[in-house]
Amino acid sequence: MPVPAPNLYPDFNTIRLSHVCLNVADLAASRAFYVDTLGLQVTDESDDRIYLRAMEERGHHCIILQKSDQPGTVDVMGFKTFDDPDLDRAHDYFNAMGRPVEWVERPHQGRTLLTSDNIGIPLEFYHKMDRLPPIHQKYALYRGVKPLRIDHFNCFSHDVDASVAFYNDIGFRVTEYTEDAESGRLWAAWMHRKGGVHDMAFTNGTGPRLHHVAFWVPTPLNIIDLLDLMATTGYVSNIERGPGRHGISNAFFLYILDPDGHRIEIYCSDYQTVDPDLEPIKWDLQDPQRQTLWGAPAPQSWFKHGSPFVGVETRDSDIAASPIVAP
């Protein structure tokens, strides 16, 4: 199935990804990982939640760590709209598509619409979030990998073609994709709103599940610093893949697992995609430089392990093709 032509005038305007709520077993252990090791900043905390932001972010939070009896699952993924009326337009759009719609109260956010996509991924859209003073020049606060901002989500989908069609209709544009030559179907795709390679990506597999959430960091050297830190503070077994450079996106990467198994990508050095007529790049599934321009191939866990969404049933993909996997 060919990549659809981009919808440059969607029914409502999403400007970027915003935040994710991750369910965890032990807030103290999660705090030690995300704050003391990665270097995210605490903006609010209670007995059951910790709110975090990265160094360049003015919005109140990009990560919510929520104490739960279902650790390792995901509650919701959030996106910011261009203006407040876009929320009403989004409500009408999702309602017309037969998706559930509900106005919900969220701490530190204004009006928030809770819905889900075509395969059941829980999504929330808002326009206003509490704004915080800038801290990007408070260099004494920089720790760990020095995360600057949340960059993207990647989700397993049992039907990548259907996921791409859905997000394309609400204005996400494909930048790069992998096609299964035998079936002609999409195996993976990268889609954006904010002008980077992706805000949202889809990987073929049992879905929906969150594959990873990514943070942008200043340089590859920050990733090396994080590896040294993790290797000497009890987190060496949490290093799953990398460092290396992707063929797709050209990004320098590292994949790590938090104490509950949520996968985090540390990421930098992709490219700008703001032109509305930018043509997507096609990759062959068996091209060894597709997933790793240089570095070791991805391990089996990278294609199998993901974080389920609370209350959402998963389905297996019927695409049999497999990319190159490390022995």
Beta strands at 173-179 and 149-157: parallel, antiparallel or unpaired: unpaired
Mean pLDDT score, 267-291: 92
Q: How much of the chain, in percent, has pLDDT values that exceed 90?
A: 91
Burial class (CB in 10 A: 0-12, 13-18, 19+), 193: buried
127 & 153 share domain: no
Residues 291 and 154 in one domain: yes
Radius of gyration in angstroms for the set of CA atoms belonging to the chain, rounded to a whole number: 19
What is the extent of the structural domain holding 198?
A: 146-308
Rounded to an integer, the average pLDDT of 317-325 is 77
pLDDT over 80 (residue 289): yes
Same domain? 304 vs 187: yes
Are 299 and 256 in contact by the 8 Å Cβ rule? The answer is no
Amino acid 324: pLDDT: 67
* 159 within a domain of the structure (yes/no): yes
**Where is the domain boundary, 131, 157, 182?**
131
Q: Is position 246 within any domain?
A: yes
- Taking 90 as the threshold, does the pLDDT of residue 322 lie above it? no
- Is residue 327 included in any domain, yes or no? no
Do 157 and 48 share a domain, yes or no?
Answer: no
| Residue 68: CATH number of its domain | 3.10.180.10
Which of the listed residues 87, 108, 131 is the one where a domain comes to its end? 131
The yes-or-no verdict on residue 10 having pLDDT over 70 is yes
Task: Assess whether 106 and 56 both reside in one domain.
Answer: yes
List pLDDT tens digits, range 127-164: 999 999 999 999 999 999 999 999 999 999 999 999 99
The SS3 call for residue 227 is: helix
Encoded amino acid at 187, one letter: W
296 pLDDT band (50/70/90 cuts)? confident
For 217-270, what is each residue's pLDDT tens digit?
999 999 999 999 999 999 999 999 999 999 999 999 999 999 999 999 999 999
The answer to whether 227 touches 177, Cβ cutoff 8 Å, is no
Beta-carbon-side half-sphere exposure of residue 183 (alpha carbons within 13 Å): 16
CA distances from 311 to 18, 147, 271, 308 (A): 22, 31, 36, 9
Q: Residue 261 falls within a domain, yes or no?
A: yes
In the block, which residue shows the tokens 């391990």? Answer: 299
Instruction: Decide if 250 contacts 200 (C-beta within 8 A).
Output: no
Report the pLDDT value the prediction gives residue 297, as an integer from 0 to 100: 87
For the chain, report the end-to-end CA distance as a whole number of angstroms: 31
For residue 205, tell me if it sits in a domain.
yes
pLDDT at 64: 98
- Tell whether 125 and 166 lie within a shared domain: no
Q: Are 123 and 161 in the same domain?
A: no
pLDDT value at residue 154: 98
257 Cβ partners below 8 Å, 6+ apart? 238, 240, 263, 264
Whether residues 126 and 155 share a domain: the answer is: no
Token pair in block for residue 135: 């801290």
Q: Are residues 293 and 168 in the same domain?
A: yes
Bridge partners of 125?
A: 79, 113
Q: What are the pLDDT digits (tens) for 54-76?
A: 999 999 999 999 999 999 999 99
Enter the DSSP assignment of 10.
-
Q: Is residue 317 part of a domain?
A: no
Q: End of a domain among 131, 162, 192?
A: 131
* Per-chain mean pLDDT for the chain: 96
Handedness of CA 246, 258, 162, 271 (dihedral sign): negative
Q: With CA atoms as reference, report the closest residue to 8 among 281, 190, 276.
A: 276
Closest CA to 35 of 307, 310, 259: 259
Tally of structural domains, the chain: 2
The pair of structure tokens assigned to 124 is 């929330």
Looking at residues 43-64, what average pLDDT do you find? 98
Separation CA 191–CA 202 (nearest Å): 8
Q: Do 65 and 198 have their domain in common?
A: no
User: Does residue 2 belong to any structural domain of this protein?
Assistant: no
Q: Are residues 279 and 184 in the same domain?
A: yes
pLDDT cut 70: percent of the chain above it: 98
Q: Are 164 and 102 in the same domain? A: no
pLDDT at 228: 98
In a domain, 5, yes or no: no
